[in-house]
Amino acid sequence: MKPRGIVFVSCGQRTAEERALGSKICELINATDNLTGYFAQDESTLEGLTGNIFMRLDKCVALVTVMHRRGRVAVPEMPAFDRASVFVEQEIGIAAFLKHVGKRPIEVRAYVEEGVALEGMR
């Protein structure tokens, strides 16, 4: 039997609604024949970060990101804007690095809460 591919779900975990959304996305992924969803909502140690999150990012065939509003940012000479989760941003950056270094495909689907500014390379 062919192993199931990992889909890394990078979604906010601040509120019960965000956690429920991440879990629901994993549930939908797990309902497929060849994919397994991973949502890091229960990781809270350094070992969890390196042994689980980094490993699953390294092994994933796809990344689903949900960019939730995290706060208003004001900088001189620019209009204020709403920023997304730093953790989701980091997971996107790590996946981009792994795709480049590993020279393998990682499918990406990003969902952005209305009003969240797209920064940097996104």
Query: What's the pLDDT tens digit per position in 23-68?
Result: 999 999 999 989 999 998 877 788 877 788 888 999 999 999 999 9
- Supply the pTM of this predicted model: 0.85
Question: What pLDDT does residue 122 have?
Answer: 56
Average pLDDT, the chain: 88
The answer, yes or no, to whether residue 121 has pLDDT greater than 70, is no
pLDDT of residue 63: 95
**CA distance linking residue 63 with residue 92, whole number of Å:** 8
Query: Rounded mean pLDDT of 100-119?
Result: 88
Burial class (CB in 10 A: 0-12, 13-18, 19+), 14: exposed
User: Can you tell me the distance from the alpha carbon of 15 to that of 29, in angstroms, rounded to the nearest whole number?
Assistant: 22
For residue 86, what are its two tokens?
Answer: 């730093």
Of residues 31, 94, 29, 47, the one with CA closest to residue 39: 29
